[in-house]
Amino acid sequence: MALVEALTGFDHYGPRRRGDRFTVGEPMARKLRDGGLVQIVEGAGKHPPTATGNPSSASPVAHHSARKTASKSASGEKPRRKRTKQEAS
């Protein structure tokens, strides 16, 4: 979300007057800015401040194991499903 300030009066989910501050999604903030309707006060392309203090003591993310797949039959085809007695009749 981005905080924007209206540069002129317009209607966006209700009337917005010059100087009004409101929040919108970042893509919408960029569209309104490109249209000359608002100036972005914070968010939408501005980088958040870097964290200060000691680094986190959390463990690093573990790698997941490789995906296991069923082995193919000798001919390389899928194994055939056995038909039940009900399906055979």
What predicted TM-score, i.e. pTM, was given to this entire model? 0.47
Question: For each of the chain's 89 residues, which pLDDT tens digit applies?
Answer: 899 999 999 998 899 999 999 999 999 999 999 999 999 987 645 555 566 667 666 776 766 666 666 666 666 676 677 777 776 66
| Of residues 84, 83, 6, the one with CA closest to residue 41 | 6
Distance CA 43, CA 66 (A): 39
Burial class (CB in 10 A: 0-12, 13-18, 19+), 43: middle
| Of residues 32, 25, 41, the one with CA closest to residue 10 | 32
Going from N- to C-terminal start, the domains of the chain cover 2-38
